[in-house]
Structure 1
Amino acid sequence: MVRLIFFLSIGILANAYDKCKVTEESCMVKLANDVFTEILSGNDELDPMRHEIIEGNLSGLKYSLTDTSVTGFKNCRVDVAKGDFVKLSFDVTLLCPAFLMRGNYSANGQIITLPVEGSGNYTIQTKKYRLGIKMDVEMQPKDGKSYLHVKSFSVDPEPLEQVVFKFDNLFNGNKELAEPDLKFANENWMQVTSALQSPVFQADLNKIIKEANKHLKKGALEEYFILE
């Protein structure tokens, strides 16, 4: 019995948060960081994160990334957190020191000004990143209490430092064609990243939001917020 009480008390403490008013930004940032850290640390599938396939069908370029691993989300920290219970919206900004993506790619089309064609292994190494995440939420009633649920989200990714691209076997290994493409991509990393990144981060955040909704089912609104 003593052992049971001990473990139950640990579980309660692990999920206890400093409650916030949504208007108290510093408290909201701390709360969001606590929740984000608990979600990431409690699920090994989020870092490294694995995707069977990510498809991009962009203007002028089609690509697919398969057997992809993404490392780095566990080191992200919430920099901004704002909520509005009238509009049922939450805005969060993550600052992430680095991401590493590895897997297989297939691409055909044109990026910026250069033709791209090939398939093979790829690596993308980033440094600092900012992710602006806007969420529309709803209140789900259960046993006389309300629980937050994220209905939809959008993500605005912004690389703040160098991004390094490596794509093997571009143009079937033709170095005369491949090397100018890689040189262009790495010299113009901001433009190239901005053109390619949306499907990738959408896939990443889909997994994180899914786990966040599971987490939010465990605690009613009153366990996170001071309601007025």
Structure 2
Amino acid sequence: MSKLSIFFAVCAVVCQSEALKLPDYITPCSRKDPNFNECALKHGREAIPRLLKGDPKYGVPVLDPMYVPEVSVEESGIKITARNFTIEGARNATLQDFRVDFDKLIVSIQFMAPQLDFRGKYELSGKLVSLPIIGKGDFNSTFRGLIAKYETQCNFTKKADGKTYLMPLDYEMEFEPEFVRIYFGNLFNGNKLLGDAMNSFIAENWRLVLDQIGKPAYRALGMIVHQILVQVANKVPYDELFSDTD
């Protein structure tokens, strides 16, 4: 479980003691409704534009642009850390699917974003598609035609108010873009010749590159969805979040 996911899980237990009603811009769906998924998709589409603007009452920060302090991954022969970066473009995303498995307590969401832009600081070292690489500086990347799939396992928790809340745990994020552009500044300690050659290689082989170093982007993008779910579920009791009336 990532550090951010641990924070979200702890916060779901201790950060809020007073139960809140759903905000008026979110219409609840009954978990007894045989067409629950269709209901959730419809009302989710209505609520997302408002949620992306942030809602201090429910602890939801501004999510477009979204600020991410740090995401790191070390595997496949490379270590990469992205710091103090922003993600822009979520406001133009379209919610495509919203499903809740009430027996297994799994929430699954799919959306499509025409374009997402990432900008910030990076540090990396290791081998990228078998080529040695090292760098530290600014990065920017653009994802176009992005289909993203988010899934989280949840548990129930009972708070001091005696009410039951849904607690989203860690999450998985997958996505398939039509096109990606990635640029790393100051590669190879500022060697322009080597840096330009590597950035050209990345541009020509972006799918291979994304397979190896895409996880920080996956995690960061998943945080947009995860923060909304965690903060709202942490403050609104389960029976109000998903009513049991027809």
TM-score normalised by the chain length of structure 2: 0.76
Q: Quote how far apart the aligned CAs of 1:208 are.
A: 4.2
Aligned position for 1:27: 39
The 5 A counterparts of 1:128-143 are: 128-141=145-158
Q: Quote how far apart the aligned CAs of 1:124 are.
A: 0.7
Aligned position for 2:168: 150
> Contact (CA 8 Å) 1:39, 1:212: kept in 2 or not?
no
Q: Kindly indicate whether residue 58 of structure 2 is the aligned counterpart of residue 39 of structure 1.
A: no
Report percent identity of matched pairs. Answer: 25
Matched residue count? 217
Q: Work out which structure has the larger RCO, using CA pairs closer than 8 Å and 6 or more positions apart in sequence.
A: 2
Letter in 2 for 1:14: D
Instruction: Give secondary structure in 2 for the equivalent of 1:39.
Output: helix
Equivalent of 2:231 in 211, 214, 220? 214
Structure with max Cα Rg? 1
Q: Quote how far apart the aligned CAs of 1:41 are.
A: 2.2
Aligned position for 1:6: none
Tell me the distance in 1 between the aligned counterparts of 2:202 and 2:90: 24
Instruction: Give secondary structure in 2 for the equivalent of 1:134.
Output: strand
> Contact (CA 8 Å) 1:158, 1:194: kept in 2 or not?
no
The 5 A counterparts of 1:12-161 are: 14-21=24-31, 23-24=34-35, 25-42=37-54, 43-141=60-158, 145-159=163-177, 161=178
Q: Quote how far apart the aligned CAs of 1:104 are.
A: 1.7
CA offset digits 1:64-103 (Å, max 9, x no partner): 2222111122332221111111111111112112111111
Letter in 1 for 2:40: M
Tell me the distance in 2 between the aligned counterparts of 1:13 and 1:137: 21
Q: Kindly indicate whether residue 174 of structure 2 is the aligned counterpart of residue 162 of structure 1.
A: no
Runs of 4+ deviating beyond 6 Å: none
TM-score normalised by the chain length of structure 1: 0.81
CA offset digits 1:174-221 (Å, max 9, x no partner): 233222211121112122122212123224434642342221244333
Instruction: Give secondary structure in 1 for the equivalent of 2:218.
Output: helix
Structure 2 unaligned blocks of 5 or more = 1-20, 55-59
- Quickly say closer, same or farther: Cα 1:33–1:20, change in 2 above 3 A: farther
CA offset digits 1:99-152 (Å, max 9, x no partner): 111112221111113221122211111112122111111233465654322123
Instruction: Give secondary structure in 1 for the equivalent of 2:232.
Output: helix
| Deviation larger for 144-153 or 187-196 | 144-153
